[in-house]
Structure 1
Amino acid sequence: MAQYHSLKPWQHQHDFSNQNEQGERNTLYVLLLTISTMFAEIVAGTIYGSMALLGDGWHMGTHAAAFVITLFVYRYARKHKNNPKYAFGTGKVSVLGGFTSAIALGLVALIMAIESAVRLFSPEQIHFKEAILVAFVGLLVNIVSVFLLKDHHSHDHKHHHHENDHDHSHTEQHDHNLRAAYFHVMADALTSILAITALLLGSYLGLNWLDPIMGIVGALIISKWAWGLLSQTAPILLDKSIESSYQQKVVSCIEQLTDHQVADIHIWSISADHYAAEITIVSHNPFSTDYSHNILKPFERLAHLTIEVNKCTQIECLKSE
């Protein structure tokens, strides 16, 4: 692991990465399980000449690739968390991993939709027994994977209570990297459930057209998950600002001081759960920056705070009383 110079006592730390050891370990288990099943299905499909087995085997390969991305992101973020080349650490690496996997999930949904549409208008012979067996094996593997990747961070709420009422909201640890891997196994499990339903109805009732219809339904649901993950991660990668109500509370906290006004304020995402803030204050008789830092301590979502205090000599700077 790369070694970086340790920070001096008076320097700021910039490690805002989300360390999720249990999530990383369980993702590795899911990857090994997925790869084992993938090879077993490809070998069996080749020996028995089953396109259903072969197809599902290669399909599992796409999810295995997504889990590799997840593991790479965890290790890269941990390795470079104190690398000075990253201005605010590697807090956004997990978000980038989630964004990348969401795109992959969207592509899987698109391929599913196209293939299902083609089969709807040009039906192919379905080998029901083999296809049902494959679907059940896939479902079993994915049920185990879903439990392994169950979003541990969603249950890890940290509640903060202050006498000051500026920030009563609890903070929640978001791991978009693990969430993306979780959606991949959920997508596979959903595909298996829909396939089993369609195949059983097709086998016993002759409703063969249900197979491609279920494929299209699955593609739409997976697309919705992918879009949800994209809409969560993209704004963070683009330095999304904090909600305006929170920013206004920060401004009000400063401007309640006599003869102090906020001339400029920027609050933006530096990880899934952390924000940095740069605030410029003007006053005829300004307090020290240390005083400003202290009055803003209750705003715990501001993980990195830079304050500039300017002494004002213009009458326009006066706060109206």
Structure 2
Amino acid sequence: MANHNAKPWQHTHQFVRLNTDGERNTRYVLYLTLVTMVAEIVAGTVYGSMALLADGWHMGTHAAAFMITLFAYYYARKYADDPKYAFGTGKVGVLGGFTSAIALGLVALLMVVESVSRLLNPEQIHFNEAIFVALIGLTVNVISAFLLKDHHSHDHHGHNHHHGHQHTHHIDEHEHQASKHHHGEGQSKAHDHNLRAAYFHVMADALTSLLAIGALLFAKFLGWQWLDPAMGIVGAVIISFWAWGLVKQTAPILLDASIDEAYLQQMVDAVEQEEQHRVSDIHVWPVSANHHAAMVSIVSPHPKEVEYFRQKLASFKRIDHLTIEVFTLAESHSLAGGTDGHGH
């Protein structure tokens, strides 16, 4: 639910990129997949074709993946303004992508098991039917791939804002002078891991169909029946690499992994250009696939206003939500030798 009681000086913390084109086209792909699945299962049952039945149920696994994608879009949109989520629902799409990547990995594992089983225990192949089914699958997935490719998202709130608040209190030997929030501007590229996962599912199926067609043609005309299950293993390896790549992209975001060390050090250097100012603590982490939040604690014997430090960090456009704390260093402490920019 939206926070309708927000005061004029307050702001939301929502970092959601809505991809309406991607969501709409994923729904089209789901419909196309379901129609193909039902048609193949019915035809396989009526004509007694195991190839058609197998591919029909295989289509069902991809339909389930597309449902995950659509549910993630729906959930992120529905709860985008719910104050229960500290930084909004920007990670829901990332979670959808991670889940689909795991499902893709399981599909690859099942492909390996089935292919090894057929290598050890060859089965009779009905070449014409199998090639026909593979062509249907390839056609459906090529259309789906075009629908899911290159759809860019946009910010939930449309544009960025600058807001802030200040307060003062004492903690031990430090004077907590101020806290400032800042929404940064600009993102170099929008990432929609949710849509990317759906795209990988159709690409995986298209690759499987393409390899199968080639293997079946060689088996039919040259008698190389071992090539069909062998290509299944090759396809599974390639799909596993895609799944692992998607896991590596999404897992750090879900686990609040820090931004790269070089960028972090540049922020520290920007603050510590003057010897009297030192960064005592700094954290920068993703709050969505495309947004970062930062908390910076600064100590100084003669501290400046928060706005001064905000201006120093204004050029770091990857930071969308910035909180700055400025502490007065007690006389018993010294900045000689510098303060570790990554202290806690």
TM-score range, shorter chain: over 0.9
Question: Which residue is equivalent to 1:69?
Answer: 68
Contact 2:306 2:324 (C-alpha < 8 Å) held by counterparts:
yes
Q: Give the whole-Å Cα distance in 2 for the aligned partners of 1:286 and 1:307.
A: 12
The structure whose RCO (Cα within 8 Å, separation 6+) is larger is 2
Q: In the alignment, is residue 267 of structure 1 matched against residue 284 of structure 2?
A: yes
| TM-score where L is the length of structure 1 | 0.92
Contact 2:187 2:290 (C-alpha < 8 Å) held by counterparts:
no
**Cα distance per residue 1:114-172 (max 9 Å; x no partner):** 00000001001111111000000000000000000013239xxxxxxxxxxxx9x9711
Matches within 5 A, 1:165-184: 171-184=188-201
Percentage of identical aligned residues: 64
Matches within 5 A, 1:269-288: 269-288=286-305
Structure 2 unaligned segments of length 5 or more: list them. 154-183, 339-344
**Cα distance per residue 1:257-288 (max 9 Å; x no partner):** 35111111111111111111111111111111
CA-CA distance at 1:295 after TM superposition: 2.0
Question: Which residue is equivalent to 1:92?
Answer: 91
Contact 1:282 1:317 (C-alpha < 8 Å) held by counterparts:
no
Q: Give the whole-Å Cα distance in 2 for the aligned partners of 1:317 and 1:53.
A: 77
Q: Give the whole-Å Cα distance in 1 for the aligned partners of 2:216 and 2:6.
A: 61
Q: In the alignment, is residue 139 of structure 1 matched against residue 138 of structure 2?
A: yes
Normalized per residue, which structure has more helix? Answer: 1
CA-CA distance at 1:300 after TM superposition: 1.4
Question: Which residue is equivalent to 2:82?
Answer: 83
Question: Which residue is equivalent to 1:294?
Answer: 311
Q: Give the whole-Å Cα distance in 2 for the aligned partners of 1:89 and 1:319.
A: 41
CA-CA distance at 1:17 after TM superposition: 1.2
Q: In the alignment, is residue 308 of structure 1 matched against residue 325 of structure 2?
A: yes
| TM-score where L is the length of structure 2 | 0.86
Aligned to 2:303, the other structure's residue is in SS state: coil
- Selected match of 1:245 from 250, 262, 280: 262
Q: Give the whole-Å Cα distance in 2 for the aligned partners of 1:314 and 1:178.
A: 55
Question: Which residue is equivalent to 1:29?
Answer: 28
Matches within 5 A, 1:37-52: 37-52=36-51
CA-CA distance at 1:309 after TM superposition: 0.6
CA-CA distance at 1:103 after TM superposition: 0.2
Contact 1:95 1:233 (C-alpha < 8 Å) held by counterparts:
yes
CA-CA distance at 1:5 after TM superposition: 2.3
Matches within 5 A, 1:150-169: 150-153=149-152
**Cα distance per residue 1:166-218 (max 9 Å; x no partner):** x9x97111100000000000000000000000111111111111010000000
Q: Give the whole-Å Cα distance in 2 for the aligned partners of 1:44 and 1:226.
A: 32
Aligned to 1:317, the other structure's residue is in SS state: coil
Structure 1 unaligned segments of length 5 or more: list them. 155-166
How many equivalent residue pairs?
A: 309
RMSD: 2.0
- Selected match of 2:221 from 192, 195, 204: 204
